[in-house]
Amino acid sequence: MPHSPVLPGLARDIGPAAGLVRDDDPVTTLQLGLLEGDGIGREVVPAAARVVESALAAAGAAPVEWVRLPLGADAIAEFGAAVPEPTLAALERLPGWILGPHDNASYPEAHRAALPPGGLIRHRFDLFANIRPATVLPGVRATVPDMDLVIVRENTEGFYADRNMYTGSGEFMPTPDVAMAVAVVTRRACERIVRVAFDLARRRRRRVTVVHKANVLSLTTGMYLDVAREIGRDHPDVTLDDQHVDAMAAHLVRRGGDFDVVVTENMFGDILSDLAGELSGSLGTAPSLNASQTKAMAQAAHGAAPDIAGHNRANPTAMILSAAMLLYRLGEFRGDPTLADAARRITRAVRTTTESGVATADLGGLASTSQFTEMVTARVARR
């Protein structure tokens, strides 16, 4: 079993009533958001929800009450916005949710220039830590068979125009023929994401690699290197090294199994985590969690794949594993070991399913989305 991509350093006691609904029934219900989104989201999000329900029951945890919320093309048709205000208001009251992929490239033209749904939600709730494990599943062919790492990506700053400005875009054109972009990097953001990486490494193999381009971008990405060295002095039990981003891409291909926890800025983290996901098997198996001090959002690394949507062919693995990360995170919030147990059951069930040879088409298998989900669901109850 690989090391668990938990989220130490983020948890804060927010009280036992957060995200819970209580009534005359003595059973306590965990309330979570469910946003299917576009494309294959309508298939993989319900698959993850079903597995979560089974895992919670098997672990003796409180049952989940899903709060279904509109997002994406359907929300545009009904509310005139991809992320309508009623959805944001509901998320404000919830400790966590599962977010399906969005296909903003297919939205009506007036909505394509707006912040994409995922970016808007990350910005609104300051989901600053994007945790992206890349671990090879048994029975899955991988370019780097021994890969078991976690990329800790800063999620609110950098060059991405949907995240680096309080209002408006970080891109602008002084003339029709010149395009410019502003990257924002703050010490506060560097410090909080680096601390997450060090705390996570203490639960794994005690090694942090900070990725930067300080030889060229010495003030922006160089700040990550400086902050990592400063914080590293407070963690003498964790080994710290660093890599330039271009060299790191090559190292992931050549010796990806040597790395443990990788921390970096927004755009570098996005690129490297997609690369690591493919090297460890497929983006269809690459989970992701976005977290703040009080909220968490499960969101698979892959996109909406509209070409296979509705054909029962999508791989639900990444979304299922993302949901497991969400449960682990909520278990830390509440100090509830049953949620951690449910998360471990899901991870173990996915691994034993792929190990048995059951896989979807992207992994060379014959299982449909629903068949794979059935197999995982059946396994979560096993000891």
Catalytic positions, written as ranges? 160, 213, 246, 270, 274
Ramachandran angles phi, psi of 21, nearest 5°: -115, 125
The pairs formed by 81-90 with CB atoms below 8 angstroms and a separation of 24 or more are 81/111, 82/107, 82/111, 82/114, 82/116, 82/117, 82/120, 83/117, 83/120, 83/121, 87/35, 88/121, 88/124, 90/33
Strands 129-135 and 148-154: antiparallel
**AA identity, residue 187:** R
Distance CA 282, CA 275 (A): 9
Using a 10 angstrom Cβ sphere, with 0-12 exposed, 13-18 middle and 19 or more buried, the burial of residue 24 is exposed
Q: Which two tokens stand for residue 314?
A: 């999508």
Tokens 């494309």 found at: 39
Using a 10 angstrom Cβ sphere, with 0-12 exposed, 13-18 middle and 19 or more buried, the burial of residue 237 is exposed
Is the CB of residue 193 less than 8 Å from the CB of residue 129?
yes
Is the CB of residue 47 less than 8 Å from the CB of residue 369?
yes
Distance CA 212, CA 263 (A): 9
User: Mapping DSSP to helix (H, G, I), strand (E, B) and coil, where does residue 346 land?
Assistant: helix
* Number of other CB atoms surrounding residue 335 within 10 Å: 11
